[in-house]
């Protein structure tokens, strides 16, 4: 099976590859930079879901050899308890309804939340906070604020499992 992923982000590609390895599924993973079609810093579940779906659907159309395509998108969402990280995945297959899965979420510290509300993007804000470069390709904000216990790849890996599980379930029930 050929799986396409709509991003060149290292944490996302690693997450998808690790998941299939863990599931003992023989697949080829291809990656393609795909536009999210939403703002660079999605600010709601809805916008983040739309970004994930757009990436998956774009990627599926561009890569004819792919059986399915996965889009993974990171964003933030306001709640009555503060601004939370939110991450969504979408799985697209030709002629089928797009599948969705959401990731674990944690509250962002108040000073980080304020900078995002003022219009900054999480990637650069996290680089400045952690004094590291390209944190979004590595442990991500979730890794920094969970003391490395759950990094971005692990979180996206869980989302990928939720997507593949739904895909396998639907495939099984249509046989």
Ligand X SMILES: O=P(O)(O)OP(=O)(O)OP(=O)(O)OC[C@H]1O[C@@H](n2cnc3c(O)ncnc32)[C@H](O)[C@@H]1O
Considering only residues 18, 30, 41, 104, which one is a binding residue for ligand X as defined by CB under 6 A? 41
Closer by beta carbon to ligand X, 79 or else 170: 79
Q: Which listed range, 61-69, 98-106, 107-115, 116-124, lies at the site for ligand X (CB under 6 A)?
A: 116-124
Q: SS3 for 18?
A: helix
74 near ligand X, rule: CB under 6 A: yes
Give the binding-site size for ligand X (rule: CB under 6 A): 21
Could you say which of 29, 30, 121, 161 contacts ligand X (CB under 6 A)? 121
Number of Cβ within a 10 Å radius of residue 19: 24
Q: Does 120 bind ligand X (CB under 6 A)?
A: no
* Alpha-carbon dihedral sign for residues 74, 76, 79, 83: positive
Give the whole-angstrom CA distance, residue 120 versus residue 64.
36
Residues in contact with 144: Cβ distance below 8 Å, sequence separation at least 6, in sequence order:
126, 129, 130, 135
Which residues of the chain form contacts with ligand X (CB under 6 A)? 7-9, 12, 36, 40-41, 51, 73-75, 121-123, 126, 135-136, 140-142, 152
């Amino acid at each position: 099976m050929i799986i396409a992923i709509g991003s060149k982000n290292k944490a996302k590609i690693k997450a998808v590859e690790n998941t299939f390895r863990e599931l003992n599924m023989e697949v080829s993973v291809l990656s393609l930079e795909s536009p999210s079609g939403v703002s660079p810093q999605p600010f709601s579940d809805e916008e983040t879901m739309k970004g994930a779906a757009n990436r998956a659907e774009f990627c599926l159309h561009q890569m004819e050899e792919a059986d399915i395509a996965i889009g993974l998108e990171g964003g933030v969402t306001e709640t009555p308890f503060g601004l939370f990280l939110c991450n969504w995945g979408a799985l697209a297959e030709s002629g089928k309804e797009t599948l969705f899965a959401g990731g674990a979420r944690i509250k962002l510290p108040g000073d980080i939340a304020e900078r995002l509300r003022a219009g900054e993007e999480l990637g650069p804000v996290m680089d400045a906070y952690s004094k590291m470069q390209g944190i979004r390709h590595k442990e991500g904000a979730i890794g920094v604020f969970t003391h490395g216990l759950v990094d971005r790849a692990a979180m996206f890996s869980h989302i990928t499992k939720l997507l593949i599980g739904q895909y396998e379930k639907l495939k099984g029930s249509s046989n």
